[in-house]
Amino acid sequence: MFTREEIIEILTDESDDNLSLLCSDAHRIRVENRGESIFLRALIEFSNRCQKNCLYCGLRSSNIDTSRYILSEDQIIACAVKSYNIGYGSIVLQSGERRDREFISFVTKVIKEIKRFSDNKLGITLSCGEQNEETYREWFEAGAHRYLLRFETSKEENYYRLHPKDRFHSYSDRINAIKTLKKIGYMTGSGFMYNLPNERVEDIADNLLFLKELNVDMVGMGPYIPHHETPLYEERNLVRLKEKSDIMKLALKSIAILRHLMPHINIASTTALQVIDNQGREKALASGANVLMPNLTPDTLRENYSIYDNKPGVKEDSELISLPFPIAYNEWGDTI
């Protein structure tokens, strides 16, 4: 268990030898606590419509250059059937945020149908943003058992650098939503972005410790990658690390530190790492991460789910996974 001071020291340490030691130690901890295998979550980005206006995200409602879509129930089920047949034991239904009744009922119906056709064998994770407790309960009772809701940054003042101050964006609502998910019984995932404009090393240390404080079950962390149709793009030169190799080192340090802090959780090797290093996915899995999220969104729509520029996986074949680790097929891979 690292202290805040020790985490800051690691994050600022420039020794490659120390980084290798940290990562191999984290890998050992991962194998001891979660086993050798990598767990898979097939990602289905079923809608890019969003009522929010996060300052960094290409799907923000003010971006009129993105063509909006929502998959039909049949299209989502076809993706889920494909996941099931390949042997991905678990899927993630991800969308922009909507709180209208039509959307909520649609998601409930889809969850129930996936549970029905798979005879409850396919695990369902949702990533559909902030909702009220009633909605979270409705989806939980329909059969979803995991939920991803990143806090993005643990400090209130930093939150409002990434989000406008309006009725859709509230730091306290965000944090309370994560706590509500845990209370209901979801396996709850969260996470944050690093290398944001004006970010300090201390902020990253605090984000890592906040994950520990929230006692989440899963974590996805990724580097900030600018999207040209967003307000934060103007501040893209204010990031601390400019070189991709330095950002990758920060990514590996963050994963490895977190594995030391939380040995039993699931940590994702996020898609964004592929943008900064074409071996990023593998390096993360060798440094404490144990979850991969192959994208099963229909090829023709993937480029419309563009949260940041140059998102990978837009053309990759999601069925072709080749890793230097065993893969756990047909398993949910829940946190112990």
Nearer to ligand SF4, 47 or 266 (CB): 47
Shortest Cβ 152–ligand SF4 spacing (Å) = 8
Shortest Cβ 69–ligand SF4 spacing (Å) = 13
Nearer to ligand SF4, 41 or 227 (CB): 227
H helices present in the chain, as ranges? 4-12, 16-34, 73-86, 101-117, 133-142, 156-162, 171-184, 201-214, 244-261, 273-276, 280-285, 299-302
Shortest Cβ 32–ligand SF4 spacing (Å) = 35
Shortest Cβ 166–ligand SF4 spacing (Å) = 12
**Nearest partner of 57 among 333, 336, 307, 318, judged by Cα:** 307
Shortest Cβ 220–ligand SF4 spacing (Å) = 13
> What are the contacts of 134-137 at 24+ separation with CB within 8 A?
135/99, 135/104, 136/180, 136/181, 136/184, 136/186, 137/184
Nearer to ligand SF4, 39 or 224 (CB): 224
Nearer to ligand SF4, 18 or 310 (CB): 310
Shortest Cβ 138–ligand SF4 spacing (Å) = 20
Rounded CA separation 282/188 (Å): 24
Task: List residues binding ligand SF4 (CB under 6 A).
Answer: 50, 52, 54, 57, 59-60, 96-97, 129, 307
| Three-class DSSP category at 321 | coil
Nearer to ligand SF4, 122 or 232 (CB): 232
Rounded CA separation 165/159 (Å): 10
Nearer to ligand SF4, 71 or 286 (CB): 71
Per-position DSSP letters for 247-280, written without gaps between them: HHHHHHHHHHHHHHH-TTSEEB--TTHHHH-TTH
